[in-house]
Amino acid sequence: MELSFRVFGRISRPVGDVFEAVVDPASLSQYFTTGGAVGRLEEGARVTWDFADFPGAFPVEVVTAERDERIVLRWGLEDDPNRPAGTGETQVILQFSDCGDGRTLLEITESGWAATDAGLKASYGNCMGWSQFICALKVWLEYGIKLRKGFYV
């Protein structure tokens, strides 16, 4: 059995604005990586994401970055000090689609966990995290609200 999930949401901003808010570390640090993001999400880059609620920087590899269309990431890497044992490396695909009315559909899928209890638990946690990512991105871009501030800690 493959462990994977898909979450999605619509953001009332053009695709270019939504894409840039994801790839720019200064923007990402405003609404998602509460401990900061280092490095722009560009193809072939290795960046780090830090969260106040999960201290310690997570290494993230950018496999693909197609402007205004798609980003493919890998995380849970072998050298990730925060990787729970037995969970495996995962692939995250962020797909950006123009809704035709000034809004953007952002779909996020993640797959690749080990088919173990630890892998299943990690997949549920990441599903929650990516769902909140879309919500936090939406309210930050549309209303300037930092949803994650104080949410977990």
* CATH number, domain with residue 53: 3.30.530.20
Q: Is the pLDDT of residue 65 over 90?
A: yes
Does the residue 150 lie in any domain? no
Q: Is residue 53 part of a domain?
A: yes
Please check whether residue 93 lies inside any domain of the structure: yes
Please report whether residue 99 resides in a domain.
yes
**Average pLDDT, stretch 58-83?**
88
Domain with 45 in it? 4-143
Most confident of 12-16, 32-36, 122-126, 143-147: 12-16
**Number of domains comprising the chain:** 1
Asked whether residue 148 is domain-assigned, the answer is: no
Burial pattern 103-130, b for ≥16 Cβ within 10 A else e, equals bbbbebbbebbbeeeebeebbeebbebb
| Averaged pLDDT of the chain | 91
Residue 91 lies in a domain: yes
* Residue range 75-112, pLDDT digits in tens: 876 776 767 766 778 999 999 999 999 999 999 999 99
Helix or strand run (H / E) with residue 47: strand 46-51
Q: Is the pLDDT of residue 52 over 90?
A: no
Model confidence pLDDT, tens digit, residues 103-148: 999 999 999 988 888 889 989 999 999 999 999 999 999 999 998 8
Give the Cα separation of 144 and 72 in Å (integer).
Answer: 26
Nearest to 122 by CA among 9, 4, 26: 4
In a domain, 110, yes or no: yes
151 located within any domain: no
pLDDT score at 114 = 87
Termini Cα distance of the chain: 34
Q: In this prediction, what percent of the chain has a pLDDT beyond 90?
A: 70
Mark 11-21 as b/e (b = at least 16 C-beta within 10 Å).
bebebeebbeb
